[in-house]
Amino acid sequence: MKKEKIIVIVPSYNEERNIPKVIEGIKNSISKPHIAVIDDGSSDNTPLIAKSFGVEVIKLPFNMGYGVALQTGYKYALENDYDYVIQIDGDGQHDPKHIEDLLRELKKGKVDSVIGSRFLVNENQVPFFRGLVIRLFGFITSLLIGHKITDPCSGYRAMNKKIIKFLVKDLYPEDYPDADLIITLHRAGFCIKEIPVRVHPNIQGKTMHSGLKPLYYIYKMFLSIFLTLFRRDY
């Protein structure tokens, strides 16, 4: 029988301080993992440090956005015939110990994607406003797909090859593939499930939702969800 191929993709932007522990955490959590760090045009030593750990590094020419970095990883996985893809952020907030949990659930064959939800674990703390926004879009997503989603903004996910083939299409969001993507996948016939994961606090205070970005995020997500409801090109 063909051995199942698994890859862990790590979208990263200026994560030279965090990428070593993320890579080491992945290596300690899964046997002989193939890791691909997708460097989103970092201005620091993120790609050099990642390469020193013996992992694949795909460097984008400039900062193109979180969604582009992820889709680059999906395209790499599809071109190299991987059966399962795990995505975990390079900022160190996601606990790699849950990779096996995500894979175990995915390999049961009942769902196409498994999302790690911080809201299914009591000790995870989220800043008030960010938590409010996540819960709002979780409510909207749950309403539109017919089952509960608590953490539509989670970047900690596992997917099978069938869903990866879909995600390399042009309809994939370039910036924030969150609630809008979950709704799109559901409408395209894919099955999605959440499991509890532990998320470490962001001690550096760095987030892609800082400054005025939360307001743009809310506007963009509402617009994207609205447009998703009218798509017919799945």
**What superfamily would CATH give domain 6-228?**
Spore Coat Polysaccharide Biosynthesis Protein SpsA; Chain A (3.90.550.10)
Residue ranges of domains in the chain: 6-228
pLDDT at 206: 53
Is-contact 140 179, C-beta < 8 A? yes
The 3-state DSSP class for residue 205 equals: coil
Token digits of residue 2: 């063909």
Concatenate the DSSP letters of all residues of 23-54 into one string.
HHHHHHHSSS-EEEEEE-S-SSSHHHHHHHTT
pLDDT at 2: 66
Question: What is the chain's pLDDT, residue by residue, as a tens digit (234 residues)?
Answer: 568 899 999 999 999 999 999 999 999 999 889 999 999 999 999 999 999 999 999 999 999 999 999 999 999 999 999 999 999 999 999 999 999 999 999 999 999 999 999 999 876 678 888 899 999 999 999 999 999 999 999 999 999 999 999 999 988 988 889 999 999 999 999 999 999 999 988 755 455 445 567 899 999 999 999 999 988 776
- CA distances to 21, 35, 73, 90, 106 from 8, rounded to whole Å, are 14, 5, 9, 11, 14
pLDDT at 174: 80
Token digits of residue 105: 């659930």
pLDDT at 221: 95
